[in-house]
Chains A and B, each alone.
Chain A
């Protein structure tokens, strides 16, 4: 079956520093990867969508300068939170699309929970 692993599960960083999180698709080739953030007590906001053979598309309020994403192959993606501050804390989810699955299904990893001190 389709599995998505995210690493690390939890991380703590000092304000102003950066942290990198990884997303690995297992058992399928992810034709697109979406990164979401869930801030405390809120819903999931799309940060960016990375589709094979296309440029990474960032949503409003999110920029490549702040959240650079690497998507070197169909099974791996990473995102860095640069210069993290308190408002960046939350749960970061990676969703990978399995083209074999119906209904444009995104399979989500367990998330990386970021705490900023």
Chain B
């Protein structure tokens, strides 16, 4: 089945710096990709969803890159601020998966220092 590896498991950056989190996946049939944010003690907040046909997506303060050839997905926080401190998870779903089963990466705990 699908395996998703996420790196790094922990990341600490200064306010204003960029932070990059990367996931690699194994299933070539993977088609839908998601990034979630989990603040301490809270549930999952969907940051962005990416389709197979999309390579670059820009959100508010972050960019998501998808490289199908390398089976790699990355989240780039362009100018991190303390409010970005949280755990981030990528998730991958295969095409035509009617059951919408998501496989999550191991998570990255990001700390943004003032």
Q: Does A111 contact B (CB under 8 A)?
A: yes
Chain A binding surface, main DSSP class: strand
Interface size on B, residues (CB 8 A): 24
Contact, CB under 8 Å: B102 / A106: yes
Known: A43-B105, A43-B106. A108 touches B99 (CB 8 A): no
Q: Which residues between 27 and 82 of chain A lie within 8 Å of chain B, taking CB atoms? A: 31-32, 34, 36, 42-44, 46, 49, 51, 54, 57
Chain A residues positioned under 8 Å from B78 (CB to CB): none
Shortest CB–CB separation between residue B74 and chain A, in angstroms? Answer: 17
Contact, CB under 8 Å: B100 / A97: yes
Shortest CB–CB separation between residue A50 and chain B, in angstroms? Answer: 9
Chain A residues positioned under 8 Å from B101 (CB to CB): 34, 46, 49
Contact, CB under 8 Å: A43 / B46: no
Q: Which residues between 77 and 95 of chain B lie within 8 Å of chain A, taking CB atoms? A: 89, 91, 93
Q: Does A105 contact B (CB under 8 A)?
A: yes
Cα–Cα, bound, A51→B99 (Å): 6
Known: A51-B98, A57-B99, A97-B100. A104 touches B32 (CB 8 A): yes
Contact, CB under 8 Å: B43 / A106: no
Tier of interface size on chain A: 20 to 34
Q: Does B44 contact A (CB under 8 A)?
A: yes
Contact, CB under 8 Å: B99 / A43: no
Shortest CB–CB separation between residue A7 and chain B, in angstroms? Answer: 13
Known: A43-B105, A43-B107. A32 touches B43 (CB 8 A): no
B residues near A (Cβ < 8 Å) are 6, 32, 34, 42-44, 46, 49-51, 89, 91, 93, 97-107
A residues near B (Cβ < 8 Å) are 31-32, 34, 36, 42-44, 46, 49, 51, 54, 57, 91, 93, 95, 97, 102-111
The 5 closest A-B pairs by CB, nearest first: A97-B100, A44-B104, A104-B100, A110-B43, A111-B43
